[in-house]
Amino acid sequence: MPFINHIPVQRAMVSCKLGKQAFGKKRAIAEDQDYLKSPETPLVVSLVGKALGLEQTYGGRRAIGAIMPIGLGISADDGIVFRKKSAESGMFDVTHISTFNIHVGNSSYTCAEPGQRLSAGEPVCVLNGRKKCFLPSECQSPDILKVTYNGHISSLQFTVKYTNPLVVGDKMGDSAGMKGVVCQLRDDNELPRTKDGTIPDIFYNSLSFPKRMTFGLIMEMALGNYVVHKQQVQYGTAFQKKWSAQTIFETMRAEGVPFKQEFFSPQGHPLGETFCGPFFLMRLNHLANKKGNVCYMPRMELGAPLPVHGLSQGGGLRMGEMEISSMMSSNSD
């Protein structure tokens, strides 16, 4: 990761975990996999990563970020606002290839054929001409890749491919250990923009930086603007002499590249200057609605009158810190 010497140790460890949780590139040999539809390499990397050959393993995209609060939608540290147009353009679309089994027993059946695309609400299999079997709800308009029959368990095995866009509740992270839950997707007429009309893809809460002390992300944004100006990837290797916070800002000032951008409201009112620039962003394999769990009659512990923990065990109320922040940021009840 670039500028690791400008990131606290705890945040550096978080960054390593985020890299493991991110959707990566498509693997050549794998039946069940999840991968980012159009991954990109970072603009600012480290020479250590280049020496280890990590340039081909990055699982993320370049995004334009800004550090500023957006109305009521980013009132918590872990809540972030994403530009709706960027999400709808397929910027962080994830493709899933999954296998599902449907038990048919001795029933007669008709099923979808390989190469067929299922529409919304269309069954994948019909038993005895009346019982309809469906794929899970997260499979939106799946393509049937392969259908096989397993005689040992009397089941049909469907290998499907489907794409999920970025939605509210998705978790995002970057190389500096900053992370957050997408709390709102906002239209362009609700978002501030720079003097030339550029609207960032993502807005971070400005209060999270003093709390987390991830100054390395600000340096990555600033150097990312310089990379776009020079059209050449730069190396932010830790403890090297070429790029420090002082040399980055001095070089950009000498080259005439602004490291701060002046923002305006959709109506044209000035909002002041803030840090804005391209950086490397990852979509993580987490959904807030799957990490929260509420059960009216949960299973109870044997030795104490308390509900067990965990969704898989039928536990009671379970809500993580980021899920609470997401609910607060989106003004959920």
| Tens digit of each residue's pLDDT (9 = 90 or more) over 107-151 | 888 888 899 998 888 888 898 888 888 888 888 888 999 999 888
In a domain, 293, yes or no: no
Asked if pLDDT for residue 181 goes beyond 60, the answer is yes
In a domain, 287, yes or no: no
Q: Following DSSP, what letter does each residue of 89-151 receive, concatenated?
A: TTTT-EEEEEEEEEE-TT--EEEPPTT-BPPTT--SEEETTTEEE---TT--SPEEEEEEEET
**Rg value, the chain, Cα:** 23
Q: How confident is the model at residue 154 (pLDDT cuts 50, 70, 90)?
A: confident
Residue located via tokens 């929260």 = 292
Q: What 3-state class would DSSP assign to 233? A: coil
Q: How confident is the model at residue 199 (pLDDT cuts 50, 70, 90)?
A: very high
What percent of the chain shows pLDDT beyond 90? Answer: 11
Look up residue 4 and give its DSSP letter: G
Task: Looking at the structure, tell me whether residues 177 and 264 fall in a common domain.
Answer: yes
In a domain, 16, yes or no: yes
Task: Looking at the structure, tell me whether residues 150 and 262 fall in a common domain.
Answer: no
Q: How confident is the model at residue 258 (pLDDT cuts 50, 70, 90)?
A: confident
What is the average per-residue pLDDT within 79-93?
90
What is the average per-residue pLDDT within 307-327?
62
Task: Looking at the structure, tell me whether residues 187 and 246 fall in a common domain.
Answer: yes
**Residue where one domain finishes, among candidates 129, 164, 199:** 164
Q: For the purposes of burial, counting CB atoms within 10 Å of the CB of 297, is it exposed (0-12), middle (13-18) or buried (19 or more)?
A: exposed
Asked if pLDDT for residue 210 goes beyond 60, the answer is yes
Asked if pLDDT for residue 288 goes beyond 80, the answer is no
Alpha-helical runs (H) found in the chain: 9-21, 47-51, 84-88, 208-212, 215-230, 245-255, 288-291, 321-329
Task: Looking at the structure, tell me whether residues 158 and 208 fall in a common domain.
Answer: no
How many distinct structural domains can be found in the chain? 2
In a domain, 305, yes or no: no
In a domain, 322, yes or no: no
Cα separation of 322 and 332, whole Å? Answer: 14
What is the average per-residue pLDDT within 194-216?
85
Q: How confident is the model at residue 234 (pLDDT cuts 50, 70, 90)?
A: confident
Asked if pLDDT for residue 309 goes beyond 70, the answer is no
In a domain, 320, yes or no: no
Task: Looking at the structure, tell me whether residues 211 and 80 fall in a common domain.
Answer: yes
Task: Looking at the structure, tell me whether residues 104 and 67 fall in a common domain.
Answer: no
Asked if pLDDT for residue 316 goes beyond 70, the answer is no
Residues 6+ apart with CB under 8 A from 188: 83, 84, 85, 199, 266
pTM across the whole model: 0.80
Task: Looking at the structure, tell me whether residues 273 and 124 fall in a common domain.
Answer: no
**Residue where one domain finishes, among candidates 117, 145, 164:** 164
**Residue where one domain finishes, among candidates 256, 280, 304:** 280
- Provide the residue range defining the domain that includes 75: 4-90+167-280
Closest residue by Cα to residue 285 from 171, 117, 206, 176: 171
In a domain, 53, yes or no: yes
User: In CATH, what number is assigned to the domain containing residue 258?
Assistant: 2.40.270.10
Asked if pLDDT for residue 86 goes beyond 90, the answer is yes
* Residue 122 CA neighbour count, 13 Å, CB half: 14
Considering the chain, what is the average pLDDT of its residues? Answer: 81
Tokens (6 digits) for 62: 């370049």
Task: Looking at the structure, tell me whether residues 28 and 56 fall in a common domain.
Answer: yes
Task: Looking at the structure, tell me whether residues 130 and 73 fall in a common domain.
Answer: no
Task: Looking at the structure, tell me whether residues 101 and 246 fall in a common domain.
Answer: no
Cα separation of 198 and 328, whole Å? Answer: 28
Cα separation of 117 and 320, whole Å? Answer: 37
Task: Looking at the structure, tell me whether residues 198 and 249 fall in a common domain.
Answer: yes
Task: Looking at the structure, tell me whether residues 79 and 143 fall in a common domain.
Answer: no
Q: How confident is the model at residue 289 (pLDDT cuts 50, 70, 90)?
A: low
Cα separation of 261 and 63, whole Å? Answer: 16
In a domain, 306, yes or no: no
What is the average per-residue pLDDT within 94-100?
89
